[in-house]
């Protein structure tokens, strides 16, 4: 870890309020999220295959939205909307990316979840943004489809938070061997390399949009991207120096 990173970490840790508790932060996201999922699920009655199939394009839309928002709001200072999104840029590019680098991706204690998890009100914003689309789908399609969309938002968001947290935990058997999670750990560690953080590896769940948009550091197909794990075999040569040094990469 560089001196600059080490100094930033100390200063950030000292700035966390004494009353902050990582588990409370996590539960403030997961309890409302699970309640919304539960509420929507009991509103859905005998969904048809056709109704459930709407989840496929919606899931892909969310994956591309995750890619776009990370690239264009978390890594670009958007001055529109009276600068409402500037704190998102500052928090992610200036703070999160200073705190974690490809060389040092892990945190030490769960007080540092303060810089990994989104603020508790993020889910409320996502639900408000989802509502018009859900009402439209409910009106023009079916009520079940509207509630499926309302349910997908917290599912995708909680998935995002779990995967991103797994990207920043210390190396362990689970994150190293769990399919998809091991993939996103390598993918995201590489993204935390300062040289490529503005352009490459923008997905934080499943690298589908990165594969499609050509913003991945791998040179392989979709399945290869999804189940790459820690492997550096398909890595584009120019990104060899951007790999996370905490990962004991499996070059097979
Ligand atoms: Zn991160
Ligand atoms: Zn980023």
How much is the average pLDDT of 174-196? 95
Q: Retrieve residue 29's tokens.
A: 């996201």
Q: What's the 97 CA to ligand 1 centre distance in angstroms?
A: 7
How much is the average pLDDT of 176-197? 94
Give the ligand with the smallest distance to the CA of 201.
Answer: 2
Q: What's the 163 CA to ligand 2 centre distance in angstroms?
A: 14
With b for 16 or more beta-carbon neighbours within 10 A and e for fewer, the 205-235 pattern comes to: bbbbbbbeeebbbbebeeebbbebbbbbeeb
Write down the pTM of the prediction. 0.92
Place of tokens 């990104």: 239
Neighbours of 16 (CB within 10 A): 14
Q: What's the 100 CA to ligand 1 centre distance in angstroms?
A: 7
Residue pair 115/96 in contact by the 8 Å Cβ criterion: yes
pLDDT score of 70 more than 60: yes
Q: What is the mean pLDDT of the chain?
A: 93
Q: What's the 171 CA to ligand 2 centre distance in angstroms?
A: 20
Q: What's the 97 CA to ligand 2 centre distance in angstroms?
A: 7
Residue pair 230/95 in contact by the 8 Å Cβ criterion: no
Q: What is the pLDDT, as a whole number, of residue 251?
A: 42
Tell me: the pLDDT tens digits for 124-155?
999 999 999 999 999 999 999 999 999 999 99
Tell me: the pLDDT tens digits for 5-34?
899 999 999 999 999 999 999 999 999 999
Backbone angles phi, psi at 104, to 5 degrees: -140, 95
Give the ligand with the smallest distance to the CA of 93.
Answer: 2
pLDDT score of 248 more than 80: no
Q: What's the 92 CA to ligand 1 centre distance in angstroms?
A: 8
How large a percentage of the chain has pLDDT more than 70? 98
| Dihedral sign for Cα atoms in the order 228, 218, 231, 69 | negative
How large a percentage of the chain has pLDDT more than 90? 86
Q: What is the pLDDT, as a whole number, of residue 243?
A: 83
Going by pLDDT thresholds of 50, 70 and 90, the confidence category of residue 49 is very high
Q: What's the 115 CA to ligand 1 centre distance in angstroms?
A: 9
Q: What's the 71 CA to ligand 2 centre distance in angstroms?
A: 7
DSSP string, 121-187: THHHHHHHHHHHHHHHHHHHS-HHHHHHHHHHHHHHHHHHHHHHHHHHSPP-HHHHHSTTHHHHHHH
For residue 240, the surrounding DSSP H or E stretch is: none
What span, in angstroms and rounded, lies between the C-alpha atoms of 162 and 81? 29
Tell me: the pLDDT tens digits for 217-247?
999 999 999 999 999 999 999 988 888 777 7
Q: What's the 144 CA to ligand 1 centre distance in angstroms?
A: 35
Q: Retrieve residue 170's tokens.
A: 């210390």
Give the ligand with the smallest distance to the CA of 91.
Answer: 2
pLDDT score of 55 more than 80: yes
Q: What is the pLDDT, as a whole number, of residue 85?
A: 86
Name the more confident of 1 and 29: 29
Q: What's the 52 CA to ligand 1 centre distance in angstroms?
A: 32
């Amino acid at each position: 870890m560089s001196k600059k990173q080490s100094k930033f970490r100390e200063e950030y840790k000292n700035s966390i309020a004494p009353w902050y508790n990582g588990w409370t932060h996590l539960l403030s996201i997961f309890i409302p999220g699970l309640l919304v999922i539960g509420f929507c699920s009991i509103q859905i009655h005998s969904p048809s295959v056709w109704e459930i199939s709407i989840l496929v394009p919606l899931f892909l839309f969310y994956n591309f939205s995750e890619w776009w928002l990370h690239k264009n709001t978390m890594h670009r200072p958007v001055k529109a909307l009276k600068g409402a999104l500037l704190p998102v840029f500052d928090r992610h590019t200036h703070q999160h990316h200073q705190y974690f680098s490809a060389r040092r991706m892990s945190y030490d204690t769960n007080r540092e979840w303060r810089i990994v998890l989104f603020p508790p009100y993020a889910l409320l914003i996502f639900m408000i943004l989802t509502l018009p689309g859900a009402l439209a789908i409910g009106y023009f399609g079916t009520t079940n489809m509207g509630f499926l969309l309302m349910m997908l938002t917290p599912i995708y968001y909680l998935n995002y938070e779990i995967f991103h947290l797994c990207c920043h935990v210390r190396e362990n058997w689970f994150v190293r061997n769990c399919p998809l999670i091991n993939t996103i750990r390598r993918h995201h560690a590489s993204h935390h390399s300062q040289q490529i953080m503005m352009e490459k590896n923008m997905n934080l769940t499943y690298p589908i949009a990165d594969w499609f948009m050509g913003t991945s550091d791998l040179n392989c197909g979709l399945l290869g991207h999804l189940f790459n794990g820690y492997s550096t075999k398909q890595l584009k040569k120019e990104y060899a120096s951007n790999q996370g040094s905490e990962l004991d990469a499996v070059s097979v």
